[in-house]
Chain A
Amino acid sequence: MIENRHDASGADSRQPSISRGQTGVWLGVLVFLGFLALISFLAFQGRSELLRSEVELTEQAGRLRMRILHAALLVEQLYLEEESERRILRGQELEREIDVLRESEREILHSEIVRELPFEVETLERTFAEYLEKLERVASGEFDPGTLERVRELASLDGLVKLQEGLVTSILDNSQEELSLIERLRSFILAVESLVLLLSGLCIFRPMDRRIRRESRALEEVNEKLRQKAHDLDQTVATLRGLRSEDQRRTRAMLSITEDLELKRQELELKAKQRQRARKLSRSAVEAAPNGMLMINVEGEIVLVNSQVEKLFRYSKDELLGRPVEILIPHRYRLDHPRHRRSYFLAPEARPMGGDRELVGLRSDGTEFPVEVGLNPLETDEGVFVMASVVDITERRESELQLANYRSELEAKNSELEEILYIVTHDLKSPLVTLQGFTGLLLRHLENDDREKVMDAAERIQRATSRMSHLLEDLLQLSRVGRVEDDFTCLDLNAVLEEVRESLAPQLEERQARLVLEEGLPWLNFSQTRLTQIFDNLLNNALKYGCPEPDMTIEVGSERRDGEILLYVRDRGPGVPTEYHKQIFLLFQRLDSRDEEGTGLGLAIVSKILELVGGTIWIDSDRGHGSTFWIRFPPCLLKTDAERLEETHA
């Protein structure tokens, strides 16, 4: 009964409470709907915000990874391209930083927090959705005891931990899933909170319903756990974010270093390119140079040559590169050269090599040639080099030598001419003085009627005029030698000599001298005038100086000596002292002061004629033993018998 009453009272009390409960349900529904809207709004809001920031985070992480990779590559490149110690150190530092970052990242990923993160959020959601349904049903009075089980299940959370590996993987892969999971978890927590709120609301409105109260307590426990989880999750996310921002900071720092390095690398690359281009250019300039160009390093090794050097020294490029430059220098200068070279490297300047010394190059075949070398220091990143430009001056030397020869020849000719001029003026003026002087005296003597003195003066005047005419004649002859073109014909020397003998007949008679001519003297291809001049002068000379007494003999003959035919004119006179043997062939040289007839030109004329055709004349004489003038004609002018026959027949 009591129970009934109790039941009845319970039913009674339920009746009004139902009507009250109905109002409460309506209120509850309203509140619930309000919550629902709030929840979905909050969930949506939080979700998108989180999503955005997490997407950014992920992107940044992705970029970070790329940059780390890039930096590593750059470091690698830098290793390869720039061997500078500083850069290596910086690169290593960067590498270490990257390692540290990677390490911390790994730590985060494998931390417990992350491991505990993965809930089966979908399951949670699904459960939540079911739960909501049930709650609705509870709210509408249809309470399903299964709901309780589900809530317990939810509280134990055992099933939700199963797929954590997937989540870890997603975090490791840095995918967005990780973040969306966290996101979902958060909204779930919110949902649970609102559910708890709802239940508490129910508890308020249906305080008598124990099941609801139990349910509510259980939910609160779950909620507590979830909060804890959410809190942990927040912390994890914060840690992750912190790490990531640290990562980013480092990445930025590294990026700036990397960018700096990249800039530097580009700069260096550009410089290297320019250098290469310049080197290429200078190489082609060197190659195109008309001089031999070779570059040596501080050790004296040849590092660059152009093809001119190959031609000059007759080496191939391969034979020269890397070899000491001394191989191009004659052995006698090699010992000294490294010393010169070193002193040059100590104070390099652009200058010609060797100072006043004459430089000699050595070819591969051992021959030498005169060179001129210009030195130019080249300062490069790889050290100081010397560019030597080599010019073969053989031709210049030769032409210089030739010029010097011409000059000395000309100078000799000039001084000879001056001498001639001097002597000519003197010798021409000398008889003039006599002429003038005695003409003046002649007048005085005539006034005084001094017959003897008149005669003397007249004779002197006569002699002076004849001397002058001789001198002029001889000068004319001399000036014609070599100036006037002569006709060369085949001449019988005997015939020429006969003619000379005829012209000399008066003198021969005067001196009472004999002229003996050898029979069968050679024929000569010569100018008749010049040949006559030679023998006319020689015979005149012999008559004047070789026949001081009557009845003396002059001989003309030939003699074969050393396979050559020599002609001679011999007298038996007083002879010529040895010291005058050369002098007599010079211009205006007379040995006797009493010599009135000689002009001093005769032997000079003979000598000059022979000199011009390549022949020679010399004297063989001694005081008191007569003189022999030897004449050597070039063999090509002497005719053989066969040629002579041919000529006469022709």
Chain B
Amino acid sequence: MSPRPLQQLLVVEDNDDHAELLAQCLEGQEIADEVLRARDGEEALRILSDTTRRPDLILLDLNLPRISGLEVLRHVKRDPRIREVPVVVLTTSDSESDRTSAYRFQANSYLIKHIDFIQFQEQVHEIGLYWGTMNRPAPLPRQEPAES
């Protein structure tokens, strides 16, 4: 059995249904050895602050209570230890403003929660494979955030 592309995947999602959907998408895909779940921004930051381990990929919902998805994203991209972990932003809306702000905060990719389950599953799969095969990507070129 070949090793899976990802050792650890962190899903940050407040909506249980959506988290379950993602889990089922990933099930049997043989993408990640372990899938961690955070229910909100606070929990996500707690998990990320664990220095003993580091996820290979973060799937991050933007619409989180208390600490928003963008806040988590900014935190990740400012922390030199986890800065290189790719972050895929999840959102229900394909709004221009969401997309721009996500990329402004240096999100690596952007995934719309698709209504069609099969399509969604395929996209999740592709993203997992892509970032998995990148396997420890080279340090990102230093990029100042576009925000002033």
Contacts and interface: CB of A to CB of B under 8 A. Distances in A.
Nearest to A440: B117
Contacts of A463: 17
A593 B40 CA distance: 7
Given A436-B117, A594-B39, A460 B20 contact: yes
B65 interface: yes
A456 B20 CA distance: 10
B1 interface: no
B92 A430 contact: yes
B65 A436 contact: no
Given A422-B93, A441-B24, A460-B20, A432 B115 contact: yes
Interface in B107-148: 113-118, 120
Count class of interface residues, chain B: 20 to 34
Nearest to B95: A422
B100 interface: no
B92 A460 contact: no
Contacts of B21: 433-434, 437-438, 441
A537 to B, nearest CB: 20
Contact of B17 (A460, A590, A595): A460
Given A434-B18, A437-B120, A590 B65 contact: yes
Given A433-B18, A433-B92, A441-B24, A592 B117 contact: no
A428 B16 CA distance: 16
A432 B97 CA distance: 21
Nearest to A467: B17
A188 B117 CA distance: 158
A266 to B, nearest CB: 78
A128 to B, nearest CB: 134
Contacts, number: 68
Contacts of A464: 17
Given A433-B18, A441-B21, A591 B117 contact: no
A429 B92 contact: yes
Contact of A593 (B64, B91, B92, B95): B64
Most buried by A among B16, B114, B118: B16
Interface string A567-610: 00000000000000000000000111111100000000000000
Question: Which label, helix, strand, loop or mixed, suits the secondary structure of the A interface?
Answer: helix
B95 to A, nearest CB: 6
Contacts of B15: 430, 434
A425 interface: yes
Contacts of B8: none
B63 interface: yes
A438 B39 contact: no
B14 interface: yes
Given A590-B65, A593-B39, A593-B65, A436 B116 contact: yes
A464 B17 CA distance: 9
Contacts of B46: none
Given A436-B117, A460-B17, A592-B65, A426 B39 contact: no
A329 B16 CA distance: 71
Most buried by B among A425, A431, A432, A440: A440
Given A426-B93, A429-B93, A430-B92, A591 B66 contact: yes
A645 to B, nearest CB: 49
Given A433-B21, A433-B115, A437-B117, A593 B14 contact: yes
Contacts of A426: 63, 91-93
Given A440-B116, A591-B66, A593-B64, A434 B14 contact: no
Interface string A398-436: 000000000000000000000000100110011111101
B100 to A, nearest CB: 13
A96 B23 CA distance: 127
Interface in B34-48: 39-40
Contacts of B16: 594, 596
A630 to B, nearest CB: 25
Contacts of A594: 16, 39
A594 B64 CA distance: 11
Nearest to B20: A460
Contacts of B91: 426
A224 B43 CA distance: 160
Contact of A440 (B18, B93, B97, B118): B118
A437 to B, nearest CB: 4
A591 B42 CA distance: 12
B67 to A, nearest CB: 10
Interface string B8-31: 000000111110110010000000
A595 B97 CA distance: 26
B118 to A, nearest CB: 6
Given A426-B63, A592-B65, A433 B39 contact: no
Given A436-B115, A437-B120, A430 B66 contact: no
B46 to A, nearest CB: 14
A434 B24 CA distance: 12
B148 to A, nearest CB: 21
A579 to B, nearest CB: 10
Contacts of A438: 17, 21, 117
A368 B39 CA distance: 62
B77 to A, nearest CB: 23
B134 to A, nearest CB: 27
Interface in B65-98: 65-66, 91-93, 95, 97
A312 B17 CA distance: 72
Nearest to A439: B117
Nearest to B24: A441
Nearest to B22: A437
Nearest to A588: B63
A431 B118 CA distance: 17
Nearest to A445: B24
Contacts of B63: 426, 430
A418 to B, nearest CB: 9
Contacts of A590: 65
Interface string A455-475: 010001001100000000000
Contacts of B116: 436, 440
B92 to A, nearest CB: 4
Which 6 residue pairs spanning A and B have beta carbons closest together?
A: A440-B117, A434-B17, A593-B14, A437-B21, A429-B92, A436-B115
29 contacts: A422-B95, A422-B97, A425-B95, A426-B91, A426-B92, A429-B113, A430-B63, A430-B92, A433-B17, A433-B18, A434-B15, A434-B18, A436-B116, A436-B117, A437-B17, A437-B117, A438-B21, A439-B117, A440-B116, A440-B117, A440-B118, A441-B21, A441-B117, A463-B17, A590-B65, A593-B14, A593-B39, A594-B39, A596-B16
Given A426-B91, A433-B18, 16 more contacts: A422-B95, A426-B93, A430-B92, A433-B113, A434-B17, A436-B117, A438-B17, A440-B117, A441-B117, A460-B20, A464-B17, A591-B65, A591-B66, A592-B65, A593-B65, A596-B16
